[in-house]
Amino acid sequence: MPPNENTGHPRRWAILGVLVISLLVVVLDNTILNVALRTLADPVHGLGASQGELEWAINSYTLVFAGLLFTFGVLGDRAGRKRFLLVGLALFGLSSLLSAYAQSPGQLIAARALMGVGGAAIMPVTLSIISNVFDPRERGRAIGVWAGAVGLAVAIGPVLGGALLEHYWWGSVFLINVPVVALGVVLVALLVPESRDPKPGRVDVLGVLLSVVGLVALSYGIIDGGEHGFGRPVVWASIIGGLAVLTWFVAHERRSEHPSLDVRLFRVPRFAAPVALVGLVFFAAMGVMFFSSFYLQLVRGYSPLETGLLFLPFAAAQLFFAPRSAAMVHRYGGKAVAAVGLTLTAVALGAFAFIDATTPIWVVLVFFFLQGVGMANIMPPATESIMSALPREKAGVGSAVSNTIRQVAGALGVAVLGSVLSAVYRGDVEPALRDLPAGAQQAAGESISGAYAAAGQLGPAAPHLIAVANDAFVTAMHWAAMLAAVAAAAGLLVVARWMPGRSAAPAAPVPAGEPELAGTA
């Protein structure tokens, strides 16, 4: 084959468009849900969900998603990526219907978990198909477009969710997934070619079970501790048990001849460093997105639609800068681009530690924009580095690891930062609640949403309760924001020490038994 011949699929750009639609339905769902959190917490217009139940409505999806990505990345490579994409889309649409008509927080959490199964079948194969239909020379640009689609979903989700919540019932934010899924199924069937690994391995059943059990136990302990306090034995049993199971998972994967996650990959800097960056950034960013929705809707008094519009600077920055990041990496190197992106992200997240109830809203918008610019220059080069560390036929493994780390880190970010938020809020607000009726004390002491609901029944005492709850929430937000900024800033240490620079040689020797590197960073 001539050295300059493009080895990509003739319809690769049309296929990328179809994959973007498939990706939109997964990302759109979580961004819509962030805007709907306040409505779901309302006992009249929503489901009366507690702070912990709201976190589980997010994390039941992300934990199932993350736990199954290992298996579905391997199964997609083995059984056929197009087939998995079609099955995932159909299951995602069905579970969206179940979510829309849930009658209790528990039913919503269960339906969202089923939605996570569908999402786990969709997400890894989109990146796998990109790796297979694009020539390595075009792959960075294609992944930049793929990452930009995340920014597009972030833009569409809150605005669409806000508009739906102003005119329809809360279930409409899930029902909107159905027509997107239907379009995706038709286009995938018509355009996307089937592909698979010619030398598939066996499925690591024990590894999958260990990863799911460990992640669920760890997150349950963190969420439950944040909601009810960390002084109870069951909380620490869950956290320590989860960590123990995850340690067992790593030990098992090291010994297994057919691991769901090949832990040897983490000895390859071009693979391990960007995986760490993805985890740190999404831990910080998803936690901040969780509490910023409450800040805008409750403390600042914006409607769901207005809140969605206020997230547009973040989304616009992602949409504009992500597709251009490949050119920046080519010019300046992945290390420099990632370092600048991390610095901007850490500054933007840390800024929430100085924002209060009277900060001009344009200041908040500027920091949303900076966060979008920063993340747009972290995710595409990191994802390209991860995907280029594996040959094409093993693309599902790289995609699964990348997306698993992102989803697990995002879930833990919501859990940990949400727990910090709840604990600090509860400690600050409780002294001011002693003169209130028992029911109002319990509701207002649980969360700021509960305080607003209780205030509606208090008459003249309502303004004082609202003021106290807002102050306590802003203080809690400051602590959570500082923790998020520290997590993002820790990524700079990873970049400085391990992230390959522009001169990284793709043919660097790999330790015996290591996977071969393919492509360039």
Q: What is the pLDDT of residues 282-327, one digit of tens each?
A: 888 877 877 787 888 888 888 777 877 888 888 788 778 877 877 7
Residue 163 tokens read as 């508009």
Residue predicted with more confidence, 86 or 23 = 86
**Nearest-angstrom CA–CA distance, 87 and 102:** 23
Place of tokens 């998020």: 484
Of 6, 150, 69, 28, nearest to 397 by C-alpha is: 69
- Mean pLDDT lowest among 153-167, 198-212, 500-514: 500-514
- Give me the percent of the chain exceeding a pLDDT of 90: 10
Q: For 3, phi and psi rounded to 5 degrees? A: -65, -25
Q: What is the pLDDT of residue 365?
A: 93
- Give me the percent of the chain exceeding a pLDDT of 70: 81
Q: What digits encode the pLDDT tens for the residues 448-488?
A: 777 777 776 666 767 877 888 888 888 888 999 999 999 98
**Nearest-angstrom CA–CA distance, 120 and 406:** 12
pTM > 0.75: no
CA distances from 261 to 14, 204, 385, 404, 516 (A): 31, 9, 17, 10, 16
Residues with Cβ within 8 Å of 40's Cβ and at least 6 positions away in sequence, in order, are 46, 47, 49, 54, 57, 105, 108, 170
Residue 7 tokens read as 């080895």
Q: What is the pLDDT of residue 518?
A: 31
